[in-house]
Amino acid sequence: MSNSTTPTVGTSEKPANDAPAFVKNDFIRQIVREDLAEGRQSAIRTRFPPEPNGYLHIGHAKAICLDFGVAAEFGGWCNLRLDDTNPAKEDPEYVEAIQDDVRWLGFDWHSLRHASDYFDVLYLAAEKLVKQGDAFICDLSAEEVRAYRGTLTEPGRNSPYRERSAEENMDLFRRMRAGEFADGARTLRAKIDMASGNMNLRDPALYRIKHVEHQNTGDKWPVYPMYDFAHSLSDAIEGVTHSLCTLEFEDHRPLYDWCVDKVDLAHSPELLKPLTDKGFPLEAGKPRQIEFSRLNFNYLVMSKRKLMALVQEHLVDGWDDPRMPTLQGIRRRGYTPSALRLMVDRVGISKQNSLLDISILEGALRDDLDAHAQRRMGVVDPLKLVITNLPEDHEEQLDFHNHPKDESAGTRKVPFAHELWIEREDFAEVPPPGFKRLTVGGDVRLRGAGIAHCDEAVKDADGNVVEIRCTLDLQSRPGMEGANRKVKGTIHWVSAKHAVAAEIRLYDRLFTVADPDEDDASGKTYKDYLNPESRKVVTGYVEPSAAQAAAETGFQFERIGYFVADRYDHTTDKPVFNRSVTLRDTWSK
């Protein structure tokens, strides 16, 4: 087995039934396997703990796939825990969206929890530390605490309040809890080591005074637990075995372990009484924190703060704008849950933070849609093509396969008639070298309908080509003797009479530079690098069966790209399609 920091994407192992299978084998799954094999754990329990202060983004998808995926693969469970230790307003809008996003990705939680469900237990746990002499009440101001903390190269100094008696500390802590003191007047601090090389162990605060209402607990608490204390003990309360989090918490792990060990919930049923009295199902245990690298892509910004700014400054149309890296945004863009899971599998789990190329994300979407999306024809920049040797009322239904590689996707009827829409760029008056499509005097195959010979390009008064007149070689239609006649190009089309006018939103990357997040010397920020071409709205035409699709149906519009019927705006009368991704990566050139 490779060592624990080696990024391992997966190996192909042959299971007993001889069917090939992809067995994920990253360092976290190796740890989990060993913990089970060696009896350190009898079941695997994880949690996904978002702070409900914004929408989830692509980075969270990695954490979700890992937390829920590991639990499912090893027959365990995963809780969804809303980390609401900040008594800021938890917007029900975020809470709803988080649940929607997790389900959409294909996962379901064992139990929905809030960190605030545990405030009573956390308070009793803090009293236990006070009693044990492991925590003290400190009267230093925030500024003084900073001055005493020392630096990375210099040890800190003990707080002058560090040697208070357990009795005095308990009295003060209870009075803090009773609301006697002003915000910031005192803190409860762990008594660990002011000389520790790890700043997080220099007597970190465990509780602070904040006279603020909490969305779940109202005005019950004038004191609130700090993140490390609340997070480690919430994991222990729920019986989480493997607490998976991102690398920035690596330096917090010693504090996490300290809290878990000193409080020892697994052997302290009296602390859990507030929950057991309420009939709360508990499986308190000793969790283990394991860190993995954050997911970051170029051409994106992924911090909630920056995404919030884009929304609030109306630089995008909201959290679910299809250009946003939020799960709500990319869902609307046409990303599928399976494309995201594929991306997460390809990226793998490691301990190396890196900025990945966006083509990994887009490539996973292309591969997923190539395999699963049905094909349709749609024209985004229409030019009229008239078939002069068919009567004006000519109308027929042609059979088309819905997927070139998947028979089971079936076939559909596509109407064909005297007048068609073709793509403007598929005609050239003066063809550039290598041009294989339509030009006056040339031939092109109309996909599935035979070979057309262009006789004439009709122009308006300004000299713009407004109509192409062609003769269809009736012997070249599929099944006819001339069907195999060689022509250089094939173009797509829709019947002008039958096609449905559609709003087509051509989305592209939101930023023009690979590293919009980088602070640069010129003082520019990510907001200065927004791509003005990131959305173009045009009116095109789609074949009837595309218009009739349900919202959120994804298609490949042949030769154009992958599109999705907009989740909110699409109707069969007024179809709206969003471009999810182009057929090929046009940025890499």
- Among the candidate windows 48-56, 230-238, 527-535, 547-555, which touches Mg ion by CB under 5 A? 48-56
Please identify which residue in 303, 402, 531, 582 interacts with ligand ATP, judged by CB under 6 A.
303
Cα–Cα distance for residue pair 86/217, rounded to 1 Å: 12
Q: From the list ligand ATP, Mg ion, none, pick the one residue 394 interacts with, judged by a Cβ distance below 5 to 8 Å according to partner type.
A: none
For 245, the enclosing helix (H) or strand (E) is strand 242-246
374 vs 18, 255, 265, 404, CA distance in Å?
A: 31, 52, 54, 9
Q: From the list ligand ATP, Mg ion, none, pick the one residue 126 interacts with, judged by a Cβ distance below 5 to 8 Å according to partner type.
A: none
Residue 78 or residue 546: which is nearer to Mg ion going by CB? 78
259 vs 139, 158, 202, 279, 390, CA distance in Å?
A: 22, 20, 14, 25, 82
Check binding of 516 to ligand ATP (CB under 6 A).
no
Q: Catalytic annotation on 304?
A: yes
Residue 65 or residue 496: which is nearer to ligand ATP going by CB? 65
The contacts found for 158-163 with CB under 8 angstroms, 24 or more apart, are 158/194, 158/203, 159/189, 159/203, 161/136, 161/137, 162/136, 162/138, 162/191, 162/203, 163/136
Among candidate residues 47, 62, 304, 331, the one labeled active-site is 304
Q: From the list ligand ATP, Mg ion, none, pick the one residue 50 interacts with, judged by a Cβ distance below 5 to 8 Å according to partner type.
A: ligand ATP
Q: Catalytic annotation on 51?
A: yes
Dihedral of CA atoms 172, 176, 177, 183 in degrees, nearest 10, equals -170
Q: Which residues of 480-490 are buried (b: 16+ CB within 10 A; e: fewer)?
A: eeeeeeeeeeb
Check binding of 49 to ligand ATP (CB under 6 A).
yes
Check binding of 304 to ligand ATP (CB under 6 A).
yes
Cα–Cα distance for residue pair 331/370, rounded to 1 Å: 17
- What is the nearest approach in angstroms of ligand ATP to the Cβ of residue 111? 17
DSSP per-residue letters across 275-339: HHTTT--------EEEEEPPP-BTT----HHHHHHHHHTTSSSSTT-TTSSBHHHHHHHT--HHH
**Token pair of 89 as six digits:** 């307003």
What mask, x for binding ligand ATP by CB under 6 A, covers residues 250 to 289? ----------------------------------------
Residue with tokens 């245990």, as numbered in its chain: 285
Residue 249 or residue 297: which is nearer to Mg ion going by CB? 249
- Among the candidate windows 46-54, 125-133, 276-284, 460-468, which touches Mg ion by CB under 5 A? 46-54
Backbone φ and ψ of 205, nearest 5°: -70, 140
Q: From the list Mg ion, ligand ATP, none, pick the one residue 333 interacts with, judged by a Cβ distance below 5 to 8 Å according to partner type.
A: none
Among candidate residues 33, 262, 294, 485, the one labeled active-site is 294
Check binding of 51 to ligand ATP (CB under 6 A).
yes
Within 219-248, which residues bind ligand ATP (CB under 6 A)?
Answer: 245-246
Please identify which residue in 24, 29, 45, 62 interacts with ligand ATP, judged by CB under 6 A.
62
Check binding of 59 to ligand ATP (CB under 6 A).
yes
Cα–Cα distance for residue pair 115/95, rounded to 1 Å: 13
Check binding of 570 to ligand ATP (CB under 6 A).
no
Q: From the list ligand ATP, Mg ion, none, pick the one residue 386 interacts with, judged by a Cβ distance below 5 to 8 Å according to partner type.
A: none
Q: Catalytic annotation on 331?
A: no
- What is the nearest approach in angstroms of Mg ion to the Cβ of residue 505? 32
Backbone φ and ψ of 565, nearest 5°: -70, 125
Name the residues annotated as catalytic: 51, 294, 304
Footprint of ligand ATP (CB under 6 A): 49-51, 59-60, 62-63, 245-246, 294-295, 302-304
Footprint of Mg ion (CB under 5 A): 51
